[in-house]
Amino acid sequence: MCTGLIGLLTNLANVASDMAGKAVKSVAKAVGEYQYPWREKLAKYKDELSKGVWGYWELGAWKPLSISARRRARLRKEVLLAGADWEFDPERKEMRTKRKGHKVDRLAAEKRERTAELMEAMPQMLADYRKRRWERKMKAEDDEKHCRSSSNSTLFMVLNWMFAFV
């Protein structure tokens, strides 16, 4: 009789463990299949979400959204995980184009780069300068010669005219 009772208890324990395992599996399945009801929430808060991310001005007063940021984030996450579009995010701003740091540091670096470039071109610049200076000197000498010769001839003409009457 003892063995019968032990067998019965063993069978009951096996049945109980099977039922418990099935219960755990059904709960896990239910939890896995459960999704945040984002369609209903989205329909409910659609007007509110379209007013902005943080809130909105109404009649000169700031009104926060009726849905909290945490709930909004959860709703957004579920919508995106489901593969639907989330059109309530604000447009992204352009990236910052203004450089960071002190302007004087940047200008000093740019000046050093420019100086290095100019120093590479310096021999050619000096040659061009010497050539221009030489050409200017030659032109000045030619003008001086021409001026002397023309002034000398004019002087001789005046002197000849004056001595013609003497």
- Per residue in 100-143, pLDDT (tens digit) is 889 898 899 999 999 999 999 999 999 999 999 999 999 988 88
Q: Which string of b and e fits 72-91 if b means at least 16 CB within 10 Å?
A: beebbebbeeeeeeeebeee
Question: Distance between CA atoms of 83 and 77, rounded to whole angstroms?
Answer: 10
Question: Distance between CA atoms of 84 and 82, rounded to whole angstroms?
Answer: 6
**Which residue is listed with tokens 């000046």?**
111
Q: What is the mean pLDDT of the chain?
A: 80
Question: In this predicted structure, what is the pLDDT of residue 126?
Answer: 95
Confidence of residue 16 (pLDDT cuts 50, 70, 90): low
Question: Distance between CA atoms of 67 and 48, rounded to whole angstroms?
Answer: 8
* pTM tops 0.75: no
From the list 73, 52, 74, 72, the residue with the least C-alpha distance to 63 is 52
**Which residue is listed with tokens 């992204």?**
92
Question: In this predicted structure, what is the pLDDT of residue 51?
Answer: 83
- Helix (H) or strand (E) segment spanning residue 58: strand 55-58
Residue 32, pLDDT above cutoff 80: no
Question: Distance between CA atoms of 47 and 52, rounded to whole angstroms?
Answer: 10
Confidence of residue 151 (pLDDT cuts 50, 70, 90): low
